[in-house]
Amino acid sequence: MTNSAAVLADAAAYAAAVEEASQAAAAYYATGESTLDDDAYDRLARGIAAYEADHPDEIHESSPTGKVAGGAAVGDVPHTVPMLSLDNVFSAEQFATWTASLERRIGRPVAAWSVEPKLDGLAVAARYREGRLERLITRGDGTAGEDVSHAAPAVVGLPERLDAPVTIEVRGEILMTNEQFEQGNAIRTEHGGAPFANPRNGAAGTLRAKDRAYRVETTFFAYGALPLAGSGELSATLTELPHSELLAYVAGLGVHTAAATEVAPLRVTTVEEVQARVEEIGALRAALPFGIDGIVIKADLAADRREAGSGTRAPRWAIAYKLPAVEKITRLLSVEWNVGRTGIIAPRAVLEPVEIDGSTVGYATLHNPADITRRDLRLGDQVMVYKAGDIIPRIEAPVAHLRTGDETPIEFPASCPQCGSEIDTSEQRWRCTRGRNCRLVASVSYAAGRDQLDIEGLGATRVVQLVDAGLVKDFADLFTLEREQLLALDRMGETSTDNLLAAIATARSRPLSRVFCALGVRGTGRSMSRRIARYFATMDHIVAADAESLQRVDGIGKEKATAVVAELAELAPLIEKLVRAGVTMTEPGATPPPEPGTEEEGDGGGTGAELPLAGMKVVVTGAMTGALEKLSRNQMNELIERAGGKSSSSVSARTSLLVAGEKAGSKRTKAEELGIRIAAPEEFAELIAEFLPGAAGEAVAVVAAVEVVEVTEVVEPVGGAAAVPAAEVAEVAEVVEV
């Protein structure tokens, strides 16, 4: 982790650094797009501070060292109490120095600490009057901010009414989760807009946007609260509460906090415990469903905070422990045009390799040709690259002021790079006019994969043989293959032929959710396919559904529903071939939805109440043992949903059951604190097996599926194996929900 500072040689270098930092901060807090990556900005800011310490008479009025971060958007709504920034540390040594300084200031050791994630969003203040949301205000310059109350209805976790009629100001962060970011980009591009560069940019733009023809959701996380005029007795209570209890009080009002996440705020009493939690949160960062850029450490007791006081820009009782940046600037070397398994032509940026968040990035997503044009990207550009969690690295924007004049335009393909056919350019994402037939091998291989039909022995090499021999024109043809046809192929003896035919016969009986996933409908994946199958119960009901009916499935909005209906119409001939081949078109344990006008409250179609996990939200953690030992997380989730439950990745008050294996860790601790039922793997397997005979055994017999992770770098193939085309990787990331 870097903690070096830029060295400023003289007053001219100092003035230039102040101007550059001010411009970068203004862009960052206004739109999320900055001309400097996080590391570069931090180094510059530390260099400015060092110069000012040596030259106190030369401090420029626009220096960032004396200002609240985020001062670009001033606004006109005064804050009741200034919304300050936080000072930063970058290492355990710096944190220890800061802690010692704080304890010298208050004259005693800090009694307790609150350790919580530093969320990568925009700070806001939500004012409630007698329990009703009255106003939502951005931080602005710390003394006043913008009124963005119009955006409140689309903010998840910020209720219009609290669970008690109190007058209070709740402060927190508004951000986009990874899922909201992907959904928001899909909606924007469908409406002809440019994709958000990153989740912060998306949250900033969404919060300030008015009169849009579409709605994009964001999420609120509270990190504090304070009384307002008219709070009455609550005012004294809030002022004296420990910070940890204040967050619990806010959560009790129905406001979203980080308490139900993997990085829930934790109260500890020693510096060693703080450092341990910092390391734990840092290790969890990549797997979180939202972005964090550090950890916030606060003195928990009101007395410690009161005696420490605050400076003009930051409280003295809190600090931000910064994590490595997820943004870096590097050079765009070239653009590759690859064709995915459904015919989508996906551009991919080839970058000068750069290390971001512990991994080397050499490639990044470029959404579509229109996005390249909108961003005015050119070969040779210095570009800002963003990477966080499981999101594939993407280019935010070119750093225009670094251009030398040697940059050249990016050329778009005139015909399909894979087969030379014409390109359909009528939509934002270009597509080969041959569609799935252009990448037939990839399409069939995907359908035969472990999480779809799971046809053992049908790898890409064998699929190529079948396609080249004219035996397979789509994956439905697999079910009509004859023994003599296979024996005629190279390296297909009697044993391998019989094994493959047996595997295909087994695949014919896979449940509807697997068959639907094998279709590769864009915008759906493993969990979405299971939800669709459980709701409609049969393929006939799915195919007959209109967009309105599809929207009754959890997680499907208007735009996605319309796209799924259109694609199912395109896939109708393939579905009919599968029906004729005797492939299963029903979901075990599911019942069709009621006819219009008779539907009752609940999930509509799906599972009956007699299933063991009906109505339960189940979380799995730790290493499974016994009958569940070889199951992947996806297979566990499939069992949960077939048994009537809903799978989840995080423990919250709404969790019904935690399946805790070896080394369960913080999820088990959280479940114990919340009084949630905990089951060992053996107990859970027995519960599932009792109602789904053979389900667990069948799953165990399958070699554990490899979890699909969105690729951030290209790994050189071993033993001469062919590399997976980048567009295929991008399209898998689009379809498969991780």
Residue count of the chain: 738
The DSSP 8-state label assigned to residue 716 in this structure reads P
Which amino acid is it at 551?
A: Q
3-state secondary structure of 312: coil
Identify the bridge partners of residue 315 per DSSP, sorted by sequence position. 310
Pairing of strands 88-89, 318-322: parallel
3-state secondary structure of 347: strand
Report how far residue 48's alpha carbon sits from residue 490's, in angstroms, rounded to the nearest whole number: 70
CB atoms within 10 A of CB 23: 16
Active site residue 118: yes
Q: Angle 583-586-589 (CA atoms, 0-180°, nearest 5)?
A: 140
Report how far residue 309's alpha carbon sits from residue 567's, in angstroms, rounded to the nearest whole number: 60
Which amino acid is it at 670?
A: K
The DSSP 8-state label assigned to residue 489 in this structure reads S
Pairing of strands 382-388, 88-89: unpaired
Identify the bridge partners of residue 297 per DSSP, sorted by sequence position. 115, 319
Report how far residue 292's alpha carbon sits from residue 304's, in angstroms, rounded to the nearest whole number: 26
CB atoms within 10 A of CB 467: 16
Spatial contact of 340 and 434, defined as CB atoms under 8 Å apart: no
Sign of CA dihedral 242, 243, 246, 247: negative
Name the residue among 432, 249, 425 with its Cα closest to residue 338.
Answer: 432
Identify the bridge partners of residue 349 per DSSP, sorted by sequence position. 335, 364
Token pair recorded at residue 212: 């849009």
| Element (DSSP H or E) covering residue 173 | strand 168-175
Radius of gyration from C-alpha coordinates of the chain: 28
State the catalytic residue, choosing from 118, 298, 617, 646.
118
Pairing of strands 408-409, 378-379: antiparallel
Report how far residue 154's alpha carbon sits from residue 400's, in angstroms, rounded to the nearest whole number: 34
Report how far residue 585's alpha carbon sits from residue 290's, in angstroms, rounded to the nearest whole number: 36
Token pair recorded at residue 228: 């307002």
Report how far residue 160's alpha carbon sits from residue 149's, in angstroms, rounded to the nearest whole number: 11
Q: CA-CA distances (angstroms) from residue 723 to 129, 320, 460, 719, 726? A: 59, 42, 11, 11, 9
Token pair recorded at residue 704: 């554990």
DSSP assignment of 541-588: HHHH--HHHHTTSTT--HHHHHHHHHHHHHTHHHHHHHHHTT---B-T
Report how far residue 522's alpha carbon sits from residue 391's, in angstroms, rounded to the nearest whole number: 18
Ramachandran quadrant class, 612 (left: phi over 0; alpha: psi -120 to 50; beta: rest): alpha
Q: Which residues are catalytic?
A: 118
